[in-house]
Structure 1
Amino acid sequence: MSNDAPHRLLLDNLNTATLLLDERLCLEYMNPAAEMLLAVSGQRSHGQFISELFTESPEALGALRQAVEQAHPFTKREATLVTLGGQPLTVDYAVTPIVEHGRNRLLVEVHPRDRLLRITKEEAQQSQLETSRMLVRGLAHEIKNPLGGIRGAAQLLARELPDEALRDYTNVIIEEADRLRNLVDRMLGTNKLPQLRPANIHEVLERVASLVEAESQGRVPLLRDYDPSIPEVLIDQEQMIQAVLNIARNALQALGDSRQPAPQITLRSRALRQFTIGHQRHRLAVRIEIIDNGPGIPPELQETIFYPMVSGRPDGTGLGLAIAQSIISQHQGLVECESQPGHTVFSISLPLEQGAAPS
């Protein structure tokens, strides 16, 4: 590259993250796509050793040295890079040696895989959500119609009974019919569209924290780990409190059932940059995490935990998480779960802006 300026103008406009390293594996250039991917400034990072930008493995560093010494190109699939901020990235990258005027340099093209994997997972999750909604609505329709008839017949029967004491039986029928109707209504969730207004997400978390602390009566410490830089987000505050509370209550119940000697719930908030939700890339998003150190969710339930009527507890209805997912989906957000014994994390991701770039 005897004249770098025209080439760099082209690289600046590529969507592929591209870095140029010198013979010492120090950064000479990175394009804007690489700056966004690695969350660093190319100008400030100029001259830094590659391991100061991100880390992978000692073997990968050896492969880069071999590539620059022997002018040997190579490609690596599904590598895990860890950025300066500690965020792991799954990427494919190609390394191409450039030999010019006795200098050996490396052109590194990085293709992120996280977004593709996330989009595939979210599409499957959304498809499952729509399927379960259709099943629940069909089931609810089939249940509510005969329930209305049963309740009405019990009321008519109660009027005809000669003995007042016999009405206890018809009252049981009416009460149980009402209970089943309420259960079906909860399965259907709210039909009310969210009333979006700017709100501080930490007000939501503090409201949830106060309710959980009151319910646990001090038995379960609740830790806050907030990012105070997060701006206001457009949400229906009451609905979002309900969604986060359902998840936090789930954690509280899991800790109570497990009799964990040192139970703990953590509420965490973080800002995310260039984050993809569905097919939309958002310049800014917020992530809320509800973390507990309980026994974890059984592996066989993790894929279906957001389905209605699926619960890991014998007395659970399996509606809390399904309702939470429905609310978050109406906010154009995403809820995910990762669980292993001693560490369960429910993550809620919400866009912080109305405008979004296509992914």
Structure 2
Amino acid sequence: MKLPVNSLAGLDLLASAVVILDAQGRISYANAAAENMLKSSFRLLDQQRLVDMFANGDKLDTVFRQALSHQFAEKSQDLTLQRTGGDSLQVHVVVTALHNPDTPVLIEMRENVQQLKLDREERLLDQSLANKELIRNLAHEIKNPLGGIRGAAQLLELELPERHLKELREYTQVIIKEADRLQTLVDRLLAPHRRPHIVGDVNIHEVCERVRSLMLAEFPSGLTINRDYDLSLPDFRGDKAQLIQVVLNIAHNAAQALSERIASGDAVLTLQTRVARQVTLAKIRYRLALDLHIIDNGPGIPTEIQDRIFFPLVSGRDGGSGLGLTLAQTFIQQHSGVIECESRPGCTDFRILIPLP
């Protein structure tokens, strides 16, 4: 029996995930927060068994059967649920027995870490805004004397006596080349503030496919790029070139971290798109948001820099400039979004959230 969905529309306003199960434990209703938690739309969740969505679903199955046999009216407990093929959920679960033979059990789940994630996003935004202002001011302060140093070195080279030109020119060339290198670094720091934000209709899957083709051209063997797309995602207004640069920066960083696995032929990069519902970004709540994940099976980001990877000049590899993720975060914030990251050995997941119309 189908539930009258219109009568349950108010549950979409709740921050906690609510699912209603039939007597066989199959999902008869899931609100927006449940779709977000289970990473799937109700169209796909309908008639699936909730316990089958978790590797340790027996924990939920136990309380479901207790509710089904009316051993209690309502029961609360904290559980760690392992999503099949994904990460774990720390949730507070409330199971309620309903007086309805067709849909006898209601389960409410709230992530215990949800508030922590919101606090972390706010800190990330504040830090990014402070970093952006610092970078802009610092780059301008460096740029002016840098031009003077380079110009002075060029003039000095012209004034060198002929008999010492060969040996002394080596030193002036060092000054000029280092000044040019620093100028390039300053230009990269200022790039997001100089380049106009060109807005148009963007299909995120076109962005992902462009990045995929570029990555496969650079790494033709040893790297598998999986696509897990939700094709129901609508187009949105954004800067396509910036978004390609963001996804490419993250994917390229992942490929460099996967160098050993690429050599052994078992490197995997996954591009996953979903719709997130009732998302709060920069203290503004949005009904829908693009939820793009770039996941790799590499060694993970070193623990000591995980909280600082979006800071300028912080890099996890030798020779890295530490600017790619800083610029990526800036570009996404220009789209009113945010980039988050969770990393452990064997799985690094960069999550990009952008509001949808």
Coarse TM-score class (shorter-chain normalised): 0.7 to 0.9
Q: CA RMSD in A?
A: 4.1
* Secondary structure in structure 2 of the residue aligned to 1:223: strand
Which residue matches 1:357?
none
* Secondary structure in structure 1 of the residue aligned to 2:258: helix
* Post-superposition offset of 1:180: 0.6
Which residue matches 1:281?
286
**Residues 237 and 120 from structure 1, CA distance in 2 versus in 1: closer, same or farther, beyond 3 angstroms?**
same
**Residues 287 and 40 from structure 1, CA distance in 2 versus in 1: closer, same or farther, beyond 3 angstroms?**
same
Question: In terms of mean alpha carbon deviation, does 198-207 or 298-307 score higher?
Answer: 198-207
In structure 2, how many angstroms separate the alpha carbons of the residues matched to 1:28 and 1:212? 39
**Residues 282 and 12 from structure 1, CA distance in 2 versus in 1: closer, same or farther, beyond 3 angstroms?**
closer
Q: Which amino acid aligns with 2:139?
A: A
Q: Choose 1 or 2 for highest CA Rg.
A: 1
Question: In terms of mean alpha carbon deviation, does 119-128 or 87-96 score higher?
Answer: 87-96
Q: Which amino acid aligns with 2:58?
A: P
Which residue matches 1:170?
172
| 1:202 to 2:205 alignment | yes
* Post-superposition offset of 1:199: 2.7
In structure 2, how many angstroms separate the alpha carbons of the residues matched to 1:28 and 1:344? 31
Matches of residues 230-309 of structure 1 in structure 2 within 5 Å? 230-256=233-259, 260-274=263-277, 276-278=279-281, 279-289=284-294, 291-309=295-313
Mind listing any 5+ residue stretches in structure 1 that lack a counterpart? 355-359
In structure 2, how many angstroms separate the alpha carbons of the residues matched to 1:271 and 1:297? 24
| 1:69 to 2:73 alignment | no
**Residues 194 and 224 from structure 1, CA distance in 2 versus in 1: closer, same or farther, beyond 3 angstroms?**
farther
Mind listing any 5+ residue stretches in structure 2 that lack a counterpart? none
Which residue matches 2:344?
340
TM-score, with structure 1 as normaliser: 0.75
Contact 2:230–2:274 at 8 Å: present in 1 too? Answer: no
* Secondary structure in structure 1 of the residue aligned to 2:42: coil
Contact 1:306–1:325 at 8 Å: present in 2 too? Answer: yes
1:319 to 318, 323, 344: 323
In structure 2, how many angstroms separate the alpha carbons of the residues matched to 1:150 and 1:277? 47
Count matched residues: 340
Q: Which amino acid aligns with 1:75?
A: S
Which residue matches 2:182?
180
* Post-superposition offset of 1:183: 0.8
Contact 2:279–2:289 at 8 Å: present in 1 too? Answer: no
* Secondary structure in structure 1 of the residue aligned to 2:70: helix
Which residue matches 1:225?
227
The sequence identity of aligned pairs, in percent, is: 40
Q: Deviations over 1:138-159 (max 9, x none)?
A: 4334433332332232233234
In structure 2, how many angstroms separate the alpha carbons of the residues matched to 1:51 and 1:267? 25
* Secondary structure in structure 1 of the residue aligned to 2:192: coil
Q: Which amino acid aligns with 2:94?
A: A
In structure 2, how many angstroms separate the alpha carbons of the residues matched to 1:128 and 1:283? 25
* Post-superposition offset of 1:32: 5.3
